[in-house]
A and B are shown apart, each in its own frame.
Chain A
Amino acid sequence: MSFEPKIVGFLCNWCSYAGADLAGTSRKKYSPNVRVVRVMCSGRVDPTFILKAFEKGADGVLICGCHPGECHYAEGNYKTARRIPLLKKMLSQLGIEDERVRLEWVSASEGDRFASIVDNMTEQIRRLGPFSRNGGCENG
């Protein structure tokens, strides 16, 4: 059976969720691999959520927020812009590939961009394979 990546997407309410909505209403064809969770701001995405997604079996996590300078809450996305790179450095120490966590800015008008990000990330993770945490066989 071919591997279909499971990607959890955290999309901010004001830009990226509307962007994803636009992709849908514009009848854009794109990979159905992202499970979208709407959050009020990308700044609401606690790094714990990302670890939890992996713990529960996600193969990748996509975080989308408003472009820098356009945050509905003025600077929530800047906090995300700092948290995600730091989290990714920590995750790389724990053996998690860079491609599995992705932060992108998607505005409400960028339905095409959202669709292409999802397609691109899905293909990257398909190449990486499933996120097997420790293979489940540590200590015999």
Chain B
Amino acid sequence: MAKPKIALYWAASCGGCDVAVLDINEKILDVAAIADIVFWPIALDFKYHHLEAMEDGAIDLCLFNGAIRNSEQERIAHLLRAKSKVMVAFGACACFGGIPALGNFTNRAEIFERAYVEAPSNANADGTFPQTLTKVSEGELELPEFFDTVLTLAQVVDAEYFVPGCPPPVDIILKVVDLFATGQLPPVGSVIASDKTLCDECDRVKEEKKITKIYRPHEIIPDPEKCLLEQGIICCGPATRGGCGLRCIKANMPCRGCFGPPPGVLDQGAKLVSAIASIYQGNTEEEIAGMVEEIIDPAGTFYRFGLADSMLKRKRLQQAEGRA
């Protein structure tokens, strides 16, 4: 019997998910032993036309990392979906938008303005902007269209499984490979991680959650044994899925939410607003205003990895008339 075929792709991502796959070290040889890798832009020299030449459903497992923020990524997502039996949204960007989805606080015009005009290192006196089509003497040059809104993989094509994390930890990657190799993949739609929250799995000492001041991580050296929230540091643990192995917590850093919302939570940011506001002590208007001021960037903090997948998905593009 022919070996199963695996494809890996990166869309709007940093490459960390691909590196995480390599971080399984010598196990990558086991993967190569049980499966043929037929497409992996970061590591192997396959072209899009090789992919197009395959029959539909020819790929058994596709690990797709990165969010979708331009037309090329969208096209390859559709192409890989057609060619793959099982599509896995791999990593926080593919699952929830990830860091690239912070671009949903702005839009294409503002990003282009910043990148090609305002950035101090620019020398763009002619005001050149990327064009999807450019005519030169040799013919037409094409660039992908840049989107206003960063999308998750599942907002573009159907995905069978979700592997969260920035990047997914090695033990979860190995688990996915193992589940696939032994034919034990869970029901379609499953998130392959823990079903508990990070707080549930955290082994720090937790006493009473009452805080009167919120510190940013650089303003305080946290006690490595005590709950970070109780020390006044915003930790996304209460509204983040566990299974990450407490990587940040063990480094004495608060959870930033890269595993996305736990089961049953529709909106990670809303739940974090609820949690943080609940434990803050202070009932007068001044105290409440103080809390709101101490949380410098609530949307960016609470939706650091999840804006594209949140209920509002982005900053509104069109506001009511007559307003900025």
Contacts and interface: CB of A to CB of B under 8 A. Distances in A.
A93 interface: yes
B212 to A, nearest CB: 12
B313 A47 contact: no
Interface string A81-117: 1110111011001111100000000000000000000
Contact of A52 (B266, B291, B299, B315): B266
A47 B323 contact: no
B288 A87 contact: no
A51 B312 contact: yes
Interface of chain A, main secondary structure: helix
Nearest to B302: A90
Nearest to B321: A129
A139 B151 contact: yes
A85 B287 CA distance: 12
Interface string A34-70: 0000000000001110111011000000000000100
A78 B270 contact: no
A139 B280 CA distance: 40
Interface stretch (B19-27, B80-88, B271-279): B271-279
B297 interface: yes
Interface residues of A, number: 36
A66 B292 CA distance: 22
A90 B318 contact: no
A79 B278 contact: yes
B295 interface: yes
Contact of B323 (A79, A87, A94, A97): A97
A134 interface: yes
Contact of A51 (B270, B277, B280, B283): B270
Contact of B319 (A75, A95, A138): A95
B105 A87 contact: no
A55 B315 CA distance: 13
A93 B271 contact: no
Contacts of A81: 283, 288
A47 B149 contact: no
B267 interface: yes
Which residue of A81, A135, A138, A140 has the most chain B CB atoms within 10 A of its CB atom? Answer: A138
Contacts of A89: 292, 295, 298
A120 interface: no
Give the interface centre of A83, A87, A133, A139 by most chain B CB atoms within 10 Å: A139
B229 to A, nearest CB: 15
Contacts of A47: 267, 270-271, 273-274
B274 A83 contact: yes
B136 interface: no
Interface of A: 46-48, 50-52, 54-55, 68, 75, 78-79, 81-83, 85-87, 89-90, 93-97, 128-130, 132-135, 137-140
12 contacts: A48-B266, A51-B267, A55-B311, A78-B283, A79-B278, A81-B283, A82-B278, A134-B316, A134-B317, A138-B148, A138-B317, A139-B149
Closest 6 CB pairs of A and B: A95-B316, A135-B318, A47-B270, A93-B299, A129-B320, A82-B277
